[in-house]
Amino acid sequence: MSAATIDRALVDVGTLDRSTYLGSGDIGALLGVDPFRTPLDVYYAKTGERQAPPMPVDPKAEARKRRGKKLEPYVLEMLQEEYAIDVVGRNHRYRDSTYGFLAAEIDFEWRHGDGETENGEIKTVHPFAAGQWGDAESGDVPMHYAAQSMFGLMITGRELCQYAVLFGADDLTLYAVQRDAAMVEQIRETAVKFWRDNVLKRVPPPPRTFADLKALWPRDTGGAFAADSNFALLVEAYQIAHDREKAAKEQAEEARFQIAAAMGENTAAIFDGIRLCTYKAQKSKRIDSEALKRDLPELFAEYSKETEYRVLRIDK
Give pLDDT, residue 12.
47
Selection from 50, 81, 47, 36 nearest residue 208 by Cα = 36
Are the C-beta atoms of 284 and 63 separated by less than 8 Å? no
The structural domains of the chain, ordered by start, are 3-212 (3.90.320.10), 229-285 (no CATH)
Residue type, 201: K
Q: What is the mean pLDDT of the chain?
A: 85
Distance (Å) of CA 55 to CA 64, 190, 212 = 18, 25, 10
Give pLDDT, residue 127.
79
Query: What whole-number percentage of the chain has pLDDT above 70?
Result: 87
Task: With cut-offs at 50, 70 and 90, classify the pLDDT of residue 312.
Answer: low
62 pLDDT above the threshold of 70: yes
Give the range among 35-49, 117-131, 259-273 with minimum mean pLDDT: 117-131
Task: With cut-offs at 50, 70 and 90, classify the pLDDT of residue 1.
Answer: very low
Give pLDDT, residue 15.
55
Return the H-helix or E-strand segment holding 277. Answer: strand 274-278
Give pLDDT, residue 94.
92
More confident residue, 27 or 9: 27
Residues 198-238 pLDDT 10s: 999 999 999 999 888 888 888 888 889 899 999 999 999 99
Query: Which residues partner with 166 through β-bridges?
Result: 124, 172
Residue type, 79: L
131 pLDDT above the threshold of 70: yes
13 pLDDT above the threshold of 50: no
Task: With cut-offs at 50, 70 and 90, classify the pLDDT of residue 145.
Answer: very high
Give pLDDT, residue 291.
81
Task: With cut-offs at 50, 70 and 90, classify the pLDDT of residue 19.
Answer: confident
Q: Where does 100-180 have alpha helices with state H?
A: 143-156
3 pLDDT above the threshold of 60: no
A 10 A CB-CB count for 156 gives 26
Give pLDDT, residue 47.
93
Residues 273-293 pLDDT 10s: 998 999 988 776 667 778 877
Handedness of CA 281, 55, 143, 148 (dihedral sign): negative
Rounded-to-integer distance, Cα 146 and Cα 189, Å: 17
Q: Record the pTM.
A: 0.72
Mean of pLDDT values over 261-271: 92
Residues 93-130 pLDDT 10s: 999 989 999 999 999 999 987 888 999 999 988 878 88
171 pLDDT above the threshold of 90: no
Residues 6 or more apart in contact with residue 275 via CB below 8 angstroms: 268, 269
